[in-house]
Amino acid sequence: MTEGNSKKVVWVDTTLRDGEQTAGIVFAREEKIMIAKLLDELGVDQIEVGIPAMGEEEAETVCEIARLGLKASVMAWNRAVIEDIAKSIKCGVDAVAISIAVSDLHIEYKLRSTREKVIEQMVKAVEFAKKEGMYVSVNGEDASRADFDYLVQFIMAAKEAGADRFRYCDTVGILDPITTYEIIKKLKEQTSMDIEIHAHNDLGMATANTVAAIMGGATHASVSVNGLGERAGNAALEEVAMAVKYTLKIDHGLKQEMFKEISDYVAKASGRPVPSWKPIVGENIFAHESGIHVDGALKHPKTYEIFSPEEVGLQRKIIIGKHSGTAALVYVLEKYGIKVGKDDVRDLLTKVRKASISMKRALSEKEFLFLYHQWIAEKEQAKR
Ligand SMILES: CC(=O)SCCNC(=O)CCNC(=O)[C@H](O)C(C)(C)COP(=O)(O)OP(=O)(O)OC[C@H]1O[C@@H](n2cnc3c(N)ncnc32)[C@H](O)[C@@H]1OP(=O)(O)O
Ligand SMILES: O=C(O)CCC(=O)C(=O)O
C-alpha cells in the first residue's frame, strides 16, 4: 500500500439473507450461527441474518443469532409491512432492513401500487420501527431502474421518518461502474443520507460497481462471502475488501487472513464450491506455472502478485507443467534437496512438456520427481 485514505467502509454482510436466497441454497441453523460467528470474528459491522416473516423456523434462527451477543449489529430483513417488522423486533435484533420497490416497473406490475402509496407505506413502517428503537435501513428495491427525482423524494421522506440509511439496490445488476459512481455521488449531494450499495452480478460488475459507489460516497457496502446471492450473486466481501485496499488505499479493517477460512466454510455449507480461479480465495490464484511468471515471482513475488498469499490465508504454489521453464524445475528440485542449475535441466524440461501434453494437465510434484529420477537413470545408462 502507498498513501492511505482515511475513509471507512461500513461492511454489511448479507450471506445469510441474499446469499441464502441463491436458488437451492439452505443453511442449517447451526451453519447460520457458525457463519454469523465467523463474520463477527472477521470484523464485519452488520450481519443481515434472515427474514423472520418467513415463519417460526427462520424467526427462531434469527432470535438465536441475536442472542449470541456479537460485536456486529444484527439486522433482520423485512418488507415494508408492519406485521413483518414486528416479528423481527420480537427476535431481539438491533436493526431492521425495511425494503420496498421504487421503480415504476415494480410499483405498477409487482406491488400494483403507486409512487405515492409506496412512500406512504415506507414512512409508516419506518416510524413504527423507530418507535421500537431500531436502527433502520430503508432499502429501495430496483433503485437502479427508478426515476431519479422520485428516488430523491423517497429518500428524503425516509430520512424525515427517522431512517438511518438508504440501501441503493441494483436488484437486477444493470449498472456499470461509471453510472454507479455518478448516481451515488448525486444522491449523496442531494440527500446527505448515509448510502449503502447493494449490487448484483448479472453482468459481472458487482464488485466494480460496489467500489465505484464507495468512490462516489457510499458509506456502507452490502456484500456476501464468495459473492453468493440471487442469480449471478452479489458483490463478494473478500473481493470488495481487497479492491478498496489496493485501489482506493482504504484500510478495510477486516481480519483478512480469515478470508480463505470463511470462504471454505460458506462453500461447504452452501454446497457451492468456489472455482479455483475465483479472485482472492480461489485455490489457484497464487499458483504459477508459466516459465516467465515463475522466474519473476521467485525473483520478486510482486512481479506477478498484488499482495502476498498469506494476507488472505492462502499459499503460493509453483506448478510444473506444459508451460514451465527451467527456473521452476530448479526451484522444485531444490525443495527436495536436489541442487541443479538451469542449464542442467534443459533436457528434463523437454520431458516435462511431453508428459504434461500427453496427460493434458500439470504434473504433481511426485510425478515430476519420478520423471527426474527416470531421466537421471537414462543419463547414467547412456554413459555406460
Ligand atoms: C430482491 C429481493 O431479494 S427481495 C427479498 C426476497 N426474499 C424472499 O422473498 C424470501 C422470503 N419470502 C417469503 O418467505 C415470502 O415471499 C413472504 C413471507 C415474504 C411473503 O409470502 P406470501 O404472503 O406467500 O406472498 P408471495 O411471496 O407469494 O408474494 C409476495 C407479496 O409481497 C408483496 N411485496 C413484495 N415486496 C414487498 C415489499 N417490499 N413490501 C411490501 N410488500 C411487498 C407482493 O406484492 C406480494 O403481495 P400480494 O400477495 O398482495 O400480491
Ligand atoms: O436489500 C433489499 O432490501 C432488496 C432486496 C435485494 O436483495 C435486491 O434488491 O437486490
* Torsion angle of C-alpha atoms 369, 374, 376, 382, degrees rounded to 10: -170
Neighbours of 51 (CB within 10 A): 23
| Contact by Cβ (8 Å): 93, 119 | no
Mutation to probe ligand 2, out of 79, 171, 174, 175 (largest number of atoms < 8 A from CB): 171
* Domain parsing of the chain, residue ranges: 10-270, 287-383
The sign of the torsion formed by the CA atoms of 340, 346, 351, 355 equals: positive
Q: Does residue 18's CB lie within 6 angstroms of at least one atom of ligand 2?
A: yes
Q: Going by CA atoms, what residue is nearest to atom 10 of ligand 2?
A: 171
Decide: 234 and 224 in contact? Cβ < 8 Å: yes
**What ipTM was predicted for this assembly?**
0.95
Kindly give the distance from the C-alpha atom of residue 33 to the centroid of ligand 2, in angstroms, as a whole number: 22
Based on the number of CB atoms within 10 Å of its own CB, is 95 exposed (0-12), middle (13-18) or buried (19 or more)? buried
Determine the atom of ligand 1 nearest the C-alpha atom of 230.
3
Query: Residue 228 is which amino acid?
Result: L
Measure the CA–CA gap between 259 and 245, rounded to whole angstroms: 14
The angle formed by the CA atoms of residues 341, 345 and 351, to the nearest 5 degrees, is 165
Q: Does the beta carbon of 79 lie inside 6 Å of ligand 1?
A: yes
Q: Cα(81) to centroid of ligand 1, in Å?
A: 10
**pTM, two decimal places:** 0.96
* CA separation for the pair 43, 53 (Å, rounded): 27
pLDDT in tens, the chain (384 residues): 446 788 999 999 999 999 999 999 999 999 999 999 999 999 999 999 999 999 999 999 999 999 999 999 999 999 999 999 999 999 999 999 999 999 999 999 999 999 999 999 999 999 999 999 999 999 999 999 999 999 999 999 999 999 999 999 999 999 999 999 999 999 999 999 999 999 999 999 999 999 999 999 999 999 999 999 999 999 999 999 999 999 999 999 999 999 999 999 999 999 999 999 999 999 999 999 999 999 999 999 999 999 999 999 999 999 999 999 999 999 999 999 999 999 999 999 999 999 999 999 999 999 999 999 999 999 999 998
Please choose, from the candidates 258, 282, 278, 262, the residue with its C-alpha nearest in 3D space to the C-alpha of residue 270.
Answer: 262
Record the cell numbers describing residue 210, joined without a space.
460496489
From 13, 122, 117, select the one nearest 73 (Cα to Cα): 13
CA distances from 29 to 251, 358, 367 (A): 33, 48, 44
For the four alpha carbons of 244, 246, 248 and 249, in that order, the dihedral sign comes to positive
Q: How far apart are CA 88 and CA 52, in angstroms?
A: 6
Residue 56 per-residue DSSP state: H
What's the 308 CA to ligand 1 centre distance in angstroms?
44
Mutate to test the pocket of ligand 1, among 16, 49, 79 (most ligand atoms within 8 A of CB): 79
Give the right CATH number for 10-270 from 3.40.190.10, 3.30.930.10, 3.20.20.70, 3.30.70.100: 3.20.20.70
pLDDT score, position 174: 98
